[in-house]
Structure 1
Amino acid sequence: MKIMEYMEERFQNLEFIPSIYNQWGTGIHFCLGKNIYQLKENEELNLKRFQVVYEQITIIFNELFEQNDDIFLVTNMYKHKKEKCIRKLKVYQPFIKCKNHLNQILVKTYPYPFEINKAEEYEMQQFSLLCKPRDLCVTELLKAASNEDFSLKPKFGGYSIDYPDVFFVNITKDIIFFIYDDRGCEVIALDFKRIRPLYEKYHDWVEEYKCM
């Protein structure tokens, strides 16, 4: 199965771009690291905040994904159309346990999805890999997704203009999980019953939710 075949069947008309929560009728928007600022008074990074964020997203992931679930790891990479030589996208290779999976990654090119000046000069390359959580270094992946705006490791690499967007698509449970940066993450589902326990257990982290 390819990712778009799955999406057309289960999440019709949803675009794999940030703010999936706003596109779908059933989901939860979590605020991470509440009341802990990213910087200390001396402008140094507040590592305590990031440790809290890492713990929160790990808990959320583990509530949504089991090691044997079938998932798609989907990555958007944004680039200038005229840029011929792109550095190797460092989202999959560093975080996949079995390197044979690298040969199974699919890629498709789409128009640049955001409204900016001269948007027609850019494009989005979307990579997808069908795998299981047990095939991935999940903890490091989650941290890298959170570290977008700061000089922390692990970090995604090889991107051209914007930091890659990474989505975890659980096709066993029909759930999509997206960390947009250290400030928050989004979960959407076909059926709110799938994510209700998450809402009830971690209500203090919830920014908003929808259950149509």
Structure 2
Amino acid sequence: MNLMGYMEERFPRLELIPSIYNQWSIGIHFYLGGGDIYQLKENEELNLKRFRFVYEQISTIFNQLFEQNDDIFLVTNMYKHKTNDKFIKKLKVYQPFLKCKNYLNQIQVKTYSYPFEIDEAEEYEMQQFSLLCKPRDLHVTELLKAASNEDFPLKPRFGGYSIDYPDVFFVNITKDIIFFIYDDRGCEVIALDFKRIRPLYEKYHNWVEEYKYI
């Protein structure tokens, strides 16, 4: 099974780009970090207490949604200039976070138009990488941290960006759930059936920004 075939069958017309919550009728939007814990202290130093709390939140959400033996697609969007690759770094999403490097040979890639409305958008493109694997094949904790560290000089971090930080999606094809961390401020979960994510909503209701279901 490839990513495109799965998405067309289970999540038709959904684009794997930020704001998947706004594209789908069943989902939960979580806010991260707590309402009174800010990224910076009064002296402008990073507030590591906040980031530790964020890491704990996203790990908790992930572990509620994914079991170690689930089949998942690890999907990465890299946004780049079509012709000028001077500032593109090596994509550091898969190699640092895969336990078995043999999986690197199984990564698939497809190129799309740049999905956001900006001036001169036609000069850019999106490369979407996907790998069929299981959570047990990944260094999940570090991967989740890197996804949330987008706007701050914290490690681990993803590489490969020339104009935007890569976006990473966890597509659980065993449970038909998609999980996306957009940065340290929040994350989104969508599903085919709200029953799959209801326990998460009920248990961590205090983290919920908004939710919707059919």
TM over 0.5, shorter chain: yes
Paired amino acid for 2:142 = E
Equivalent pairs counted in the alignment come to: 212
State the match for 1:27 in structure 2: 27
State the match for 1:49 in structure 2: 50
Moved over 6 A (4+): none
How far apart in 2 are the matches of 1:133 and 1:77? 21
Matches within 5 A, 1:45-84: 45-84=46-85
Q: Larger deviation: 99-108 or 81-90?
A: 81-90
How far apart in 2 are the matches of 1:129 and 1:171? 12
1:84 Cα deviation after fit:
4.3
1:181 aligns with 2:183: yes
1:161 Cα deviation after fit:
1.1
How far apart in 1 are the matches of 2:26 and 2:49? 32
How far apart in 1 are the matches of 2:128 and 2:49? 33
State the match for 2:17 in structure 1: 17
How far apart in 2 are the matches of 1:12 and 1:211? 17
1:83 Cα deviation after fit:
2.1
Unaligned runs of 5+ in 1: none
How far apart in 2 are the matches of 1:113 and 1:158? 18
Report the secondary structure of 1:25's partner residue: coil
How far apart in 1 are the matches of 2:199 and 2:64? 9
1:20 Cα deviation after fit:
0.1
How far apart in 2 are the matches of 1:87 and 1:20? 26
Same amino acid, percent of matched pairs:
84
1:62 Cα deviation after fit:
0.1
Deviations 1:102-128 (A, max 9, x none): 000000000000000000000000000
1:158 Cα deviation after fit:
2.2
How far apart in 2 are the matches of 1:71 and 1:195? 16
Q: What RMSD over aligned residues (CA atoms) do the two structures have, in Å?
A: 0.7
